[in-house]
Amino acid sequence: MKRYSFILILAGLLVLTARKIFAGDPSGIHTYSDSIQGLKFSVNFAWTLLSAFLVFNMQAGFTFLGAGFVQKRNTLNYLSMSFISFCVGAIIFWIFGFALMFGGSKLAPGLSSGSQFIGYSGFLLLGESYDVSTSVLWMFQIMFAATACAIVTGAVAERFKFHAYVIYSVFLCGVLYPVFGHWMWGKGWLEMLPFGVGARDFAGSGVVHGMGGLIAFIAAWMLGPRFGKYNPDGSSNVIHGHNMAYIVIGTLTLIFGWFGFNAGSTLAVTELRVSIIAVNTFLSAAAGAITLLYFSYAKTKKSDIIMTCNGALAGCVAITASGAYVPHWAAVVIGIVASLITRSSLYFIESKLKIDDPVGAISVHGANGLWGLLSVGIFSDGTYGGVKGLIVGSCSQLLSQFIACVTLIAWCFATGFILFYLMKRFFGLRVPVNIERSGIDVYEHGTSCYPGI
């Protein structure tokens, strides 16, 4: 009863404050008109929103993928983390993450205040930022924040405390992601670098996937491997997932969403380049998949479909930064290289660094996030956005991209370490070892994933 009263009082207060509506153009009446300019808004709103919806559906992809990779007894725990991350992300990004990221970018009304290092306008989408143009930007961007957040889930699966995960989500979507995002996309200092046209990360190889993958690295390292992953002599065991069909379906669902992720990142279909971007995404994914299929086959004489899926995702990650700037043949090359990087990285992380990453998030998203950033400086052919890479004889862009890579690594490692260190110190990161052995689902969530069976 007390809780309801609290809600009622809160509502009452909001009533009082809200009676005077101070806003940008929340109805869209001033933004739209029956004219060329008005229709441009409409068609670009449609494009951006529908793309955002597709990116949202990547959450279903991550959920399928990760659920397939984990053991049966921890599946519900994975699903829970996957589901809550975007819920927490949405609320935090609305309260302040978006303001930190896009304040000062002037990309939409109400985003005028901010420096090259941090934004500080657009909080709660109130005031001037209660505007149709600002909301469309928010809708697209929250999906990206949620994606970055979801990437880490797989790397910490089967041993992370659920409530630690919720806290991690708050900080990732509220601070870590928006601040770096501001530097790259919110008129921040990386975007303004004096080499080439400044650092460019078209749809977020670095901002989204690199960040997710590198934070996953720190998280998986500080969390330690799953019980039974490594033997006393340092050799590793394969811990099988429980449903390969989910992995394949998840990969397909992710690619489906990725078309929105990449082609939608123009935020405008009046940029007809979108078609080149979509084709590049598909070619890079296909090239990565085929490469790892036959590369694995050459080693093991088995057609490893999980590795094939990893190759496809690696191609998608890498082309995310450069898809808008490179010609089609380069997309194929980028995808091939990405898949080889992924395989090497998987081996290196598991066998050399002895970090346990159940789904391969570090290798697929982290390593290729960096490769994607660099690929902009290599393969951009100058036909879009003025971005020129090595293949058209320009070296300076690559310097910007390299600085972005170094900055990303430094930022993720530093902030990720602090975040997980503090959480570890104050309430611990891992479930008790006996729970880990018997399964997290019943302990944390009160039921198994397949209770009737």
Q: Which of residues 140-179 bind a copy of itself (CB under 8 A)?
A: 142, 162-163
CA–CA dist 206, 373 (Å, integer): 6
**Phi and psi of 114, rounded to 5°?**
165, 160
Asked if 302 touches a copy of itself (CB under 8 A), the answer is yes
Window 281-300: residues binding a copy of itself (CB under 8 A): 282-283, 285-287, 289-290, 293, 295, 300
Judged by CB under 8 A, does residue 438 bind a copy of itself?
no
Using rule CB under 8 A, residue 397 touches a copy of itself: no
Shortest distance (Å) from residue 43 CB to a copy of itself: 5
How many CB atoms sit inside 10 A of residue 10's CB?
10
Judged by beta carbon, residue 39 or residue 406, the one nearer a copy of itself is 39
Sites for a copy of itself among residues 255-284 (CB under 8 A):
255-256, 259-260, 263, 269-276, 278-279, 282-283
Q: Which of 101, 314, 321, 332 binds a copy of itself (CB under 8 A)?
A: 332
CA angle (436, 440, 445) in 5-degree steps = 160
333 or 376: whose CB is closer to a copy of itself?
333
Phi, psi of 204 (to 5 degrees): 105, 35
Calculate the dihedral angle through the C-alpha atoms of 206, 211, 214, 219, rounding to the nearest 10 degrees. Answer: -170
Nearer to a copy of itself, 108 or 214 (CB): 108
- Binding-site size, a copy of itself (CB under 8 A): 143
- Tokens standing for residue 94: 């609305």
- By CB under 8 A, name the one of 96, 123, 138, 171 that touches a copy of itself: 138
Is 34 a binding residue for a copy of itself by CB under 8 A? The answer is yes
Q: How far apart are CA 196 and CA 401, in angstroms?
A: 9
Task: Write each residue from 214 to 253 as x if it is in contact with a copy of itself (CB under 8 A), else as -, in one continuous string.
Answer: --------------------------xxxxxxx-xx-xxx
Any contact of residue 390 with a copy of itself (CB under 8 A)?
Answer: yes
As a whole number of angstroms, the distance between CA 162 and CA 417 comes to: 19
In sequence order, what are the beta bridge partners of 114? 119
Q: Which of residues 73-112 bind a copy of itself (CB under 8 A)?
A: 75-76, 79-80, 82-84, 86-91, 94
Q: Is 230 in contact with 431 (CB distance < 8 Å)?
A: no
- Choices 136-144, 149-157, 208-216, 350-358 (CB under 8 A): range interacting with a copy of itself: 136-144
Determine which residue in the list 72, 106, 354, 424 makes contact with a copy of itself, applying CB under 8 A: 72
On whether the CB atoms of residues 368 and 317 are closer than 8 A, the answer is: yes
Contacts of 298 (CB under 8 A, 6+ apart): none
Q: Is 388 helix (H, G, I), strand (E, B) or coil?
A: strand
40 CB-contact burial (10 Å; exposed 0-12 / middle 13-18 / buried 19+): middle
Considering the complex, state which of residue 219 and residue 313 has its C-beta at the smaller distance from a copy of itself. 313
